[in-house]
Structures are given as C-alpha cells and as structure tokens.
Amino acid sequence: MSKKNGASGMANPTKLKPVDADDKQLLRVVIETPKGSRNKFAFDQQEHIFELKKVLPAGMAFPYDFGFVPSTKADDGDPVDVLVLMDEPAFPGCVLSCRPIGVIEGEQIQENKEPIRNDRIVAVEKEAHSWADIDTIDDLGKHFLRELEDFFVQYHQLSNKKYRVLEVKGPGHARKLVKSSKR
C-alpha cells in the first residue's frame, strides 16, 4: 500500500508493550540485526520498514542478536538497545521474550559534541538452552564481557564516534533503565 493512503506494509513494533504480558520480569525485544550479520538494520518509524543502515567491514559481524525494547526512549533518542544471547540467530522484526542479566553503561562521543549516554542491556532469550544457567552479567566471565565491550567500541569507531564503557551493572539496573525510559 502507498503512504498516501496512510497505510504501510507492517505494524510499528516500537509501540508494543515493553514487558511480557505473562511474566513482567521478561522484557520484549524487537530484533533489528541478527547474530553473525555484517548488515546493521534499523526500524524506520516513519515508513514502518526495516532499513539497511550500514555494512560492517569484512571480518566484523554482530556477535549476538541486537535489538530494542519497544515503547522506550533512551538518552540517544532511540529505543533502549538490547544485545540478546540465544542459541540461534533470529531475524529482523522478530519479537522475543528475554531475561535481562545486566547492562553495559556507556557513553558515545562525537567530535565537537557533548557525550551522550548509550547503554546496552544484555539479556538471555527465555527459551535459550545454552544460556539457561546465566542469571547475571557476571556469570558470563570477564573475558566474555571484555569482548562485548570491545565490539561496541570498534562498532562506534566505524562512524567516527568514540564509545567509552562507564560501568557494568546487574539485572536490577537493566530493569530500572527500562522503567525510566518508558514513553
């Protein structure tokens, strides 16, 4: 359908409820970019489509599924970001129920601009077998966590931005972030 008619090809997933209706401890996450993809996708709220935003260089890919919590707005103006640990990659537009295990608090710095907070929740998809025993971000281990942090630093460098990890906090802080970001 054309935009002239006021209709588009899909519903707006940014308007979904941010928590699971059956279990309020679970976040709903809309996947934008699947694990292993070099393509960075983002949902365009005006046109109601998933759009290719950038292609990562050869040898670099998203280490895990990446998406957002619907009905939230973070300090950077986008919905709250979530990195989802699960057994197999999802696909853009897939909605998952996830257990938040922590948050990587960070700031994004662009030349000649004030730093902007850009926190990333880390969550486990509720049916994930390989990650079933992970309750907090500390359970991942320091080396694994360092790799996640390094990915975000390198990812931002591609856009001539700097990313600095401020702190890593547990699941309670991830839930507080979602609660304070609800719109």
Question: Per-residue pLDDT for the chain (183 aa), expressed as one digit of tens each?
Answer: 445 445 556 789 999 999 999 999 999 999 999 999 999 999 998 899 999 999 999 999 999 999 999 999 999 999 999 999 999 999 999 999 999 999 999 999 888 889 999 999 999 999 999 999 999 999 999 999 999 999 999 999 988 899 999 999 999 999 999 999 998
Interatomic CA distance for residues 140 and 148, integer angstroms: 10
The domain in which residue 79 lies consists of 3-177
Q: Which of 112, 117, 100, 123 is nearest to 165 (CA)?
A: 117
| Helix, strand, or coil (residue 51) | strand
156 inside domain? yes
183 inside domain? no
Instruction: State residue 7's pLDDT score.
Output: 54
Backbone angles phi and psi of 19, in degrees to 5: -120, 155
CATH number at residue 145: 3.90.80.10
Q: Which helix (H) or strand (E) holds 104?
A: strand 95-110
Q: Which of 37, 41, 42, 33 is nearest to 66 (CA)?
A: 33
105 inside domain? yes
Q: Which residue type does 20 have?
A: D
Domain count, the chain: 1
